[in-house]
Amino acid sequence: MCGIVGYIGHREAYPIIIEGLKRLEYRGYDSAGIALFDGTDLKVSKTKGKVADLENISEKEITKTGNVGIGHTRWATHGVPNDVNSHPHTSNSGDLVIIHNGIIENYESLKQELIARGYTFKSDTDTEVLINLIEDVKKQEDVKLGKAVQIALNQVIGAYAITVFDKNKPEEIVVARLGSPLAVGIGEDEFFIASDASPFIEYTKDAIYLEDEEMAIIRFHKGIKIRKIKDDSLVDPYIQKLQLNLEEIEKGGYDHFMLKEIHEQPKAITDTYRGRLLRDQAIIKMAGVEDNMKKFLNANRIIIVACGTSWHAGLVAEYIFEDLARIPVEVEYASEFRYRNPVIREDDVLIAISQSGETADTLAAIKLAKSKGAFVFGVCNVVGSSIARETDAGAYTHAGPEIGVASTKAFTTQITVLTLMALRLSRAKGTITSSEYRRHLLELEMIPGKVEKALESDAHIRYIADIYKDASNCLYLGRGYNFPVALEGALKLKEISYIHAEGYPAAEMKHGPIALIDENMPIVVIATKKGHYEKVVSNIQEIKSRKGKIIGIVTEGDEQVKELADHVIEVPETLESLSPLLTTIPLQLLSYYIAVMLDKNVDQPRNLAKSVTVE
Ligand code: F6R
């Protein structure tokens, strides 16, 4: 959702906050703002637009000196993105200043109470209500800022990560979290606050991740105190050593993070199976699965919950778990599952898939399943994320930071983890023969090299992108394991190029979408040799007779589809169950090049945010 950065220490806060906001811009980028204490007064500068716009206006508006400050990059929830609704927000007295990520659900009733007590509001935001509530409590109860924040938060319903300070006591920053992430970097007599660790990675590797319902009072020269918001009890800070490197969060010569992340997939997939896939010994080692083998083997069924691209990875997993391990699987949108009173049994296993590990709906689905006694397993990329901590056990994807808003390497590494799990369970259940099992291990180990090969079609894909970049609609078709890939291909195209695209099971086309096909409609058909090749070829013939333009994703050396299609993009041959790891690659590149040619902001598409921490 929104990105939060704060600093208190001996350095100039401004450059740390601005650079930090740029790294967090993937979280939201419709407006940005900064508040600094310049030694005598509070200076606030904020604007609709990007962090670069903030830099431009803050040049003119504020002196950029001061050792205490907070900054925000926003993804609007309450109030349209404009200058007034941008964070930071100050209290009526002008003393207190806040930035906030999340939603205060009862803000309207709190606002009415504050209005009745004489408070006025400039913006439409819930955040301005919260800072005035804190001010009101501070005055009424005559308490210090930390206590006022605590009392106010106990009146709030919703989710938040907040950072607050008082210009009359600028040696102290108060932070708190419920449902939105917040990390505190611990330096030498200095503290960094951020939604994730990327803004302070070059200054310190020591970080504390606040847990839900915790707040911290951070004092220059004095240190940090963490308390439970509900009962005021003190919490022992747990300082984590960060593994992140600066290079991992930079573009490394690529034009966009998305392109870099597409090209990182061979390495990311290798990192995902490294130490887990031991082919020489014909072993898959996954501690989270091993330690809970009984739960998996006795499972009535597996329920997979996720959103967006992660949900597509879940659909691929449904095929592989059922196919190899013969365990019934249901794949659910987390947002639907959590609200539809689902039947959950104690012998159900729920697998939650999430790149960020912060998606609000997925987190809520996990809590629901746990409350019904199900065993919950997480597949996350971000180490230490809320979902990673909330689940009973899990497996990290080890894809490295994914910064482009459109998910790429997260998808293929999620599929890799889920494939390893399915193989391990099928071995334990005896639903796969030894030779089939070894064949899968061998083929999986060869996938990174084959992804590398698929990436070599880059120039050819750029050529195809140029032909179809002006299309208004596009269909993606696939069958079996490649049906979810068709959904993912369509999602990639629409989210970054804003071209309307639909993914469909190829055979289902006859039940409706075929009506859309004419000579202007590009149709991407995944038609690899393994699986339902002949059936897909018939579908291609049906499209051809209606004059649709066919882009076939085919196995190297394919001649039959080449004859029929307008264009083909080849991928190396592999097992059908592993084919999504290869067929996805050209679809990612196709979307990328179309979006670049249309001059869209590939890494930060409009209206989207990398991690959706509100429902
Ligand atoms: C699409 C995309 C989103 C995410 C979705 C879930 O490219 O990135 O659809 O997949 O918001 O996010 P995570 O995986 O972080 O839970």
Digit-coded pLDDT (tens) for 463-505: 999 999 999 999 999 999 999 999 999 999 999 999 999 999 9
Dihedrals phi, psi of 406, to nearest 5 degrees: -75, 125
Neighbours of 49 (CB within 10 A): 18
pLDDT given for residue 442 in this prediction: 97
State if residue 307 touches ligand 1 by the CB under 6 angstroms criterion.
Answer: yes
pLDDT given for residue 609 in this prediction: 76
Report the pLDDT averaged over residues 201-211: 95
What are the beta bridge partners of residue 165? 97, 173
HEC-encoded secondary structure of 215-262: EEEEECCCEEEEEECCCCCEECCCCEECCCCCHHHCCCCCCCHHHHHH
pLDDT given for residue 514 in this prediction: 87
State if residue 406 touches ligand 1 by the CB under 6 angstroms criterion.
Answer: yes
Q: pLDDT tens for residues 545-569?
A: 899 999 999 999 999 999 999 999 9
Q: How far, rounded to the nearest angstrom, does the alpha carbon of residue 314 sit from its chain's CA centroid?
A: 15
State if residue 612 touches ligand 1 by the CB under 6 angstroms criterion.
Answer: yes
**In 456-570, which ranges are continuous DSSP H helix?**
458-468, 483-497, 533-544, 560-564
Structure tokens at 122: 């400039």
Dihedrals phi, psi of 137, to nearest 5 degrees: -60, -45
Lowest-confidence region among 12-16, 74-78, 308-312, 528-532: 74-78
State if residue 412 touches ligand 1 by the CB under 6 angstroms criterion.
Answer: no
pLDDT at 36 over 80: yes
Q: How far is the CA of 1 from the centre of ligand 1 (A)?
A: 12
To test the pocket of ligand 1, the residue of 262, 310, 312 to mutate (highest count of ligand atoms within 8 Å of its CB) is 310
Q: What domains can be seen in the chain, in order of their start residue? A: 3-248 (3.60.20.10), 251-454 (3.40.50.10490), 456-606 (3.40.50.10490)
Residue nearest to atom 9 of ligand 1 (CA): 308
| Beta-carbon contacts of residue 343 (< 8 Å; ≥ 6 apart) | none
Q: How far is the CA of 307 from the centre of ligand 1 (A)?
A: 6
Sheet of strand 234-235: strand arrangement: 89-90, 96-104, 158-166, 172-178, 214-219, 223-228, 234-235
Cα 540 from Cα 527, distance rounded (Å): 9
pLDDT at 150 over 90: yes
pLDDT given for residue 509 in this prediction: 87
State if residue 495 touches ligand 1 by the CB under 6 angstroms criterion.
Answer: yes
pLDDT given for residue 601 in this prediction: 92
- Sign of the torsion formed by the C-alpha atoms of 500, 576, 562 and 269: positive
pLDDT at 179 over 90: no
Neighbours of 551 (CB within 10 A): 23
Q: pLDDT tens for residues 385-400?
A: 889 999 999 999 999 8
pLDDT given for residue 499 in this prediction: 97
Quick check: helix, strand or coil at residue 291?
Answer: coil
Asked if 372 is an active-site residue, the reply is no
What atom of ligand 1 comes closest to residue 408's alpha carbon? Answer: 7
What atom of ligand 1 comes closest to residue 611's alpha carbon? Answer: 15
Q: How far is the CA of 615 from the centre of ligand 1 (A)?
A: 13
Lowest-confidence region among 153-157, 450-454, 512-516: 512-516
State if residue 309 touches ligand 1 by the CB under 6 angstroms criterion.
Answer: yes
Cα 35 from Cα 66, distance rounded (Å): 10
User: Which residue is catalytic, options 50, 260, 492, 610?
Assistant: 610
HEC-encoded secondary structure of 403-451: CCCCCCHHHHHHHHHHHHHHHHHHHHHCCCCHHHHHHHHHHHHHHHHHH
Report the pLDDT averaged over residues 177-194: 94
Quick check: helix, strand or coil at residue 317?
Answer: helix
To test the pocket of ligand 1, the residue of 180, 309, 403 to mutate (highest count of ligand atoms within 8 Å of its CB) is 309
Q: pLDDT tens for residues 405-437?
A: 999 999 999 999 999 999 999 999 999 999 999
| Confidence tier at 599 by pLDDT (50, 70, 90) | very high
Better pLDDT: 523 or 243: 523
Angle formed by the axes of helices 434-455 and 580-597, nearest 10° = 20
Sheet of strand 500-505: strand arrangement: 500-505, 473-478, 522-527, 549-555, 567-571
Q: How many helices (H) and strands (E) does the chain have?
A: 20, 27
Residue nearest to atom 4 of ligand 1 (CA): 308
Q: pLDDT tens for residues 331-368?
A: 999 999 999 999 999 999 999 999 999 999 999 999 99
| Confidence tier at 159 by pLDDT (50, 70, 90) | confident
State if residue 314 touches ligand 1 by the CB under 6 angstroms criterion.
Answer: no
User: Which residue is catalytic, options 2, 307, 380, 474?
Assistant: 2
Q: How far is the CA of 405 from the centre of ligand 1 (A)?
A: 8
Q: pLDDT tens for residues 90-115?
A: 999 999 999 999 889 999 999 999 99
pLDDT at 64 over 90: no
Better pLDDT: 75 or 210: 210
pLDDT given for residue 510 in this prediction: 85
pTM: 0.85
Helix (H) or strand (E) holding 580: helix 580-597
Name the average pLDDT for the chain.
94
pLDDT at 79 over 90: no
**CB-CB contact of 152 with 135 (8 Å):** no
State if residue 555 touches ligand 1 by the CB under 6 angstroms criterion.
Answer: no
State if residue 380 touches ligand 1 by the CB under 6 angstroms criterion.
Answer: no
Q: pLDDT tens for residues 260-315?
A: 999 999 999 999 999 999 999 999 999 999 999 999 999 999 999 999 999 999 99
Helix (H) or strand (E) holding 38: none
pLDDT at 51 over 80: yes
Q: Which of 583, 525, 581 is CA-nearest to residue 556?
A: 583
Asked if 610 is an active-site residue, the reply is yes
State if residue 354 touches ligand 1 by the CB under 6 angstroms criterion.
Answer: yes
| Confidence tier at 63 by pLDDT (50, 70, 90) | confident
